[in-house]
Structure formats: structure tokens, C-alpha cells
Amino acid sequence: MDTYYFAIVAKPSRNNPDKDLGGAYIHVFVTDSDIENARKRAIHYLDESFWHCENVELSKEILPEQFPLLDALLQLAYSKAQKFGICAHIDAWKSACDPNAPIEIRYRPSTYLPKDWTK
């Protein structure tokens, strides 16, 4: 199985306990043999977690040798995906108007990928 990474912009659904949040950048790791199937699984996983996918900003296969390039939070999510098949890390913001507004305290600070991965 390969491991795929998806950077997704999402909004909380009506049934989300945090429906007052403005939105989130969600980092999803999925183990699968096909990137398109992995993308579908990531979106379904978010739907089941009461998040509506607005846009998949980045889709990328993560090779084992790229693991050290991930920051600590994404390494943890990657490792959990290796164990459970899928894992998401959510960076949410409060204001529906300003995605740069301070995030809720219950969410961890933003995580970043190496710059050359976002090309």
C-alpha cells in the first residue's frame, strides 16, 4: 500500500458540534493502492466527521524517505494512517470571514509541508 497526502479546505457541516467555526485546513493521510480511491476515501472520512470538503488543494504520494521532511504533527498523522489506514489533522479557524483569524485553542497550531511540495 502507498500513502497519500491531501490538503483539503473544508467547512463544518450542520451536524458538526463545532459548526460555529469558519472552516479548516485538513491534512489527511490515506493508505491505498490508488490515489483517486484514496482521495474519495479522504473526502468520505471528512463527511463522516461532519466536515464538507470545499477544495482539495494538494494531492501527493508520500514516500517513506520523505517522512523526515514532515513536521512533528504531520509525522504523527502519517504514523496513525500507517496503523489505521487513514488519519486527519485539522487546523480550524473561528471567523467565517477571516481564515487568518486565531484558531480555537483546542486545535493545534498550523502545520506546514516543505515549500517545494506545494508546487
Q: What is the pTM of this model?
A: 0.81
Contact 39, 47 (CB under 8 A): no
Cα–Cα distance measured from residue 106 to residue 91, given in angstroms and rounded to the nearest whole number? 10
pLDDT at 38: 97
Task: Measure the CA–CA gap between 37 and 41, rounded to whole angstroms.
Answer: 6
pLDDT at 9 over 50: yes
Phi, psi for residue 71 in degrees, rounded to 5:
-75, 175
**Average pLDDT rounded to a whole number, residues 48-65:** 93
- Sign for the CA dihedral angle at 108, 110, 114, 119 comes to positive
pLDDT category, 105, cuts 50, 70, 90?
Answer: very low
Tally Cβ neighbours within 10 Å of residue 74.
20
The predicted-structure confidence for 67-82, as pLDDT tens digits, reads as follows 998 888 899 999 999 9
User: Which residues lie across from 35 on neighbouring strands?
Assistant: none
